[in-house]
Amino acid sequence: MGKESLIGKGLWDSYSEKVRKRMNNPTHFGSFTEKDASLRNLKLVDVLHGSEACGDAVELFLLVEENTGKITDAKFKSYGCGTAIAAADIMTELCIGKTVDEAIKITNLDVEAALRDNPDVPAVPGQKMHCSVMAYDVIKKAVASYKGVDIKTYEEAEIVCHCGRITRKTIEDAIRAKGLTTVEQIMEETGAGSYCGSCIKPGGHEPKNVYLTDILEEILKPVKSEKSGPAAEKKFESMTVPQKLKALEKVLDEAVRPSLAADSGGVEIMDIDGDTVFIQYLGACAGCASSGRGTLDFIQATLRDRLSASIIVSPYRD
């Protein structure tokens, strides 16, 4: 069965032609044995790497000239989705002909770029970018195995957005230099979080050591402390409607809309009556079944945590 029969038409159209072809007919699918390596007087490297994000796994087989470190041939087996197969196939192709030291420099961005039909058009939807990350990780594991070293030897500076290879330092520098105050601004300025969205805040498809919300809060906390105090605080209940609207919009921009935007959705405040906030869903959220109770509870819990425990969020009815 072709992969296109398993993927919705709208989503299928967002994959490049190269990805579609390699999903169904990977060029380098297969394996090597120790006997194969011995007959060609080469060293076999065989590693298996799995992704906690989606349960996929890739097994990479490299045949390496020991005196030069050159990868003369490579094959793979993939256990997972079509995007993982396509990413693993092109990653394997990129390795052939390179030395192991050159192969370790191949990143997931190189893998995704090689799958593009048009240099300016992404090869896969943002939420599938993590499949190319898995292809990058299996290269590191293979080279570490070949050289007999710990894979941590090849770990880079702390990466927050693995899809875009965006480091914590890049994000922190952008927040300070540009005076960023919201996650949306970080996403626009650095690109972090604009792929699969799992690095924005806890609750995404893949757990992270640190999230954009954590970094933003850590940097802004000293600023907020300076501005805090009895004179600077005003209870939500005692605010005027315009003040409530401003406070609500700020929380939505910082803690709610980025998560909804990752799934092409959004939310808009339609009315405020006392402590009751009437909202309307936008984009994908408007037609999503989960926008009923689950998303509503998430928005209400966030507003209560940030502003007032008395806030009630209700769907807007014409």
| Catalytic residue set | 54, 131
Q: For residue 74, list its beta bridge partners.
A: 62
β-strand 265-273 against 166-167: which pairing, if any?
unpaired
Euclidean distance between CA atoms 45 and 66, whole angstroms? 11
Euclidean distance between CA atoms 176 and 187, whole angstroms? 14
Euclidean distance between CA atoms 199 and 251, whole angstroms? 18
Distances from the Cα of 108 to the Cα of 63, 87, 113, 203, angstroms: 22, 9, 8, 23
Euclidean distance between CA atoms 87 and 108, whole angstroms? 9
Euclidean distance between CA atoms 274 and 271, whole angstroms? 10
